Structures are given as structure tokens and as C-alpha cells.
């Protein structure tokens, strides 16, 4: 046969494991020593009394489980409500930041474009005015862009196309 580590007898290594928390194999449940020995501590109950005690425990456990579920749903409700409020305020603050940075960027680009325009540097003025016009379409910037395109059209024909596109734009 060989050594299997459990002993040499076949009945040792072929026996099945006992179910957890079960009584000894083949023991009679009603006549167990445990019931006879400890019946004076817990008191002997009739079947109806035992079922009543169990049903009271079940009701108590159901009530506790119900209260726990209500508490968890309430907690989740307030957590989600607070998260949504945070999400809205965060989105609003992001929008305010974007609007303020766009306004600052528009003013900076407009000033730089005006400086280039006054110095007759139309190529750099076009770059600044196009960016400012993309942020906020303004008639003053549109007129200066048209002037820059018109001056640059003499040397580069691509600016003539941009001039016509901007002129035909509503």
C-alpha cells in the first residue's frame, strides 16, 4: 500500500470529515448527554415556548436589520446629496475661473495686438488679434484684423483669402 501520512490502516485515510459543529456520528439527538446535563441551567421548554422564543429573536433581528438598512439608505442619501452639491459648486467655480482667465487673456492679446499694430508689425498683430477674436468676437478687433490682412495681402496672397473670409463672415 505505501505510506500516506495518516497511518497504515485503510479506515483512517478513507473516512470522511465530520461536518463542522455537528454532534458525534451516530449519536441520538434527543437523548444526548448535553441536553440531559444542562437542561437544569436553561430550563426545559416545551416546543411551543421554544418556537415562541425563536420567533421573538427573529422579529428582533428583522427589526434591527430593517433599522440598519434605513440608516444606510439615509447615510447614502445625504452623502450623494452632499456630493452633488460639491459637484455643482466645483463646476461653477471652474466656469468662473475659465471666464475670468478668458477675459484676462482677451485684454492681454488685444493690448499686444494694438502695440504691434501701432508699430506697423502686421504679421505679429494678426496672430494676437486672431487669438483675441477667437475668444471674443469684437468689431474693433475685426476692423484691425481686416486692416492687417489688407496690408499683408500685398506680400502674401493667403492673407487675401483670410481677408475675404472675414469680410464675408456675418
- Could you report the per-residue pLDDT of 56-109, keeping only the tens digit for each? 888 888 889 999 999 999 989 988 888 888 888 888 888 899 888 988 999 999
Query: Is 142 contained in some domain?
Result: yes
Cα(41)–Cα(60) distance, integer angstroms:
24
Does any domain span residue 88?
yes
On whether residue 150 sits in a domain, the answer given is yes
- Distance CA(117)–CA(120), nearest Å, equals 5
Tell me if 119 is assigned to some domain: yes
Number of folded domains in the chain? 1
The answer to whether residues 167 and 147 touch, using CB atoms and an 8 Å cutoff, is: no
> Do 140 and 167 form a contact (C-beta atoms < 8 A)?
no
In a domain, 112, yes or no: yes
Does residue 28 belong to any structural domain of this protein? no
Tell whether 101 is covered by a domain.
yes
- Quote the Cα angle for 138-142-144, to 5°: 120
Q: What is the pTM of this model?
A: 0.48
Q: Which are the contacts of 106, defined by CB distance < 8 A and separation ≥ 6?
A: 132, 135, 136
Is the separation of the CB atoms in 84 and 100 below 8 Å?
no
Give residue 94's domain range: 45-168
Q: Sign of dihedral through CA atoms 104, 107, 111, 112?
A: positive
Asked if residues 132 and 141 have their Cβ atoms less than 8 Å apart, the reply is yes
- Residue 21: inside a domain: no
Q: What is the pLDDT of residues 107-154, one digit of tens each?
A: 999 999 999 999 999 999 999 999 999 998 888 999 999 999 888 988
Q: How far, in Å, CA of 105 to CA of 113, rounded?
A: 12
Amino acid at each position: 500500500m505505501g505510506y500516506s501520512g495518516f497511518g497504515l490502516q485503510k479506515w483512517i485515510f478513507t473516512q470522511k470529515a465530520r461536518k463542522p459543529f455537528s454532534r458525534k456520528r451516530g449519536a441520538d439527538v434527543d437523548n444526548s448527554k448535553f441536553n440531559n446535563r444542562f437542561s437544569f441551567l436553561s430550563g426545559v421548554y416545551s416546543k411551543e415556548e421554544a418556537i415562541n422564543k425563536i420567533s421573538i429573536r427573529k422579529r428582533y433581528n428583522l427589526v434591527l436589520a430593517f433599522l440598519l438598512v434605513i440608516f444606510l439608505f439615509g447615510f447614502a442619501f445625504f452623502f450623494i446629496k452632499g456630493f452633488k452639491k460639491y459637484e455643482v459648486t466645483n463646476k461653477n467655480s471652474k466656469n468662473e475661473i475659465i471666464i475670468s482667465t478668458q477675459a484676462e487673456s482677451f485684454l492681454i492679446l488685444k493690448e499686444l495686438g494694438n502695440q504691434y499694430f501701432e508699430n506697423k508689425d502686421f504679421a505679429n498683430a494678426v496672430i494676437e488679434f486672431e487669438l483675441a477674436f477667437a475668444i471674443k468676437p469684437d468689431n474693433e478687433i475685426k476692423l484691425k484684423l481686416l486692416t492687417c490682412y489688407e496690408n499683408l495681402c500685398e506680400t502674401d496672397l493667403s492673407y487675401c483669402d483670410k481677408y475675404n473670409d472675414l469680410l464675408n463672415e456675418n
